[in-house]
Amino acid sequence: MQSRWNPFEMSNGAVALGPLVMREFDQFFRERPSGAREFAPAADIYETAEGITLHVDLPGHDAKSIEVKVENDTLTLKSERKRPESLKDEGTRRLERNFGVFTRSFVLPRTVDASRVEARYENGVLTLALPRREETKPRVIEVKVNG
């Protein structure tokens, strides 16, 4: 089995730097030169009798840069949050907010009517309404009484 060389590991297996510092050190050198990183924002999914609602956190994104695409049975979201120009020249010490491009895909169930998907972006949250196909909505059947 091949092991990965760690220059901060001592001969007894201990690491000279703490795990948090090491993780930050690794992250610093894995970032692209522009500081942009790919990330997947958090999403909440709710299902009702009317359909599925999807809320995706996209704070700081320009609504015009958000792309929502439905192809076959897949919903794909793509956007980019750019690092403000004013921050690029200053001596950044730490970046906890994610900047860069993200793409996230969801496989749609057959119950969704892809031709009626609606998207709304408000207060940094993208909300997608994925209505059910009429034939898949629950329906009440009237019971007839004879006599």
Mean pLDDT by 10 residues, the chain (147 residues): 54 48 51 51 89 92 92 90 72 77 89 92 95 84 88
Instruction: Please write down the long-range contacts of 123-127, taking CB distance under 8 Å and 24 or more positions apart.
Output: 124/57, 124/58, 124/59, 124/60, 124/61, 125/55, 125/56, 125/57, 125/58, 126/54, 126/55, 126/56, 126/58, 126/66, 126/68, 126/77, 127/53, 127/54, 127/55, 127/56
pLDDT of residue 121: 96
pLDDT of residue 39: 67
Identify the CATH class of 39-84+98-136.
mainly beta
Is the overall model pTM greater than 0.75, yes or no? Answer: no
Domain residue spans of the chain: 39-84+98-136
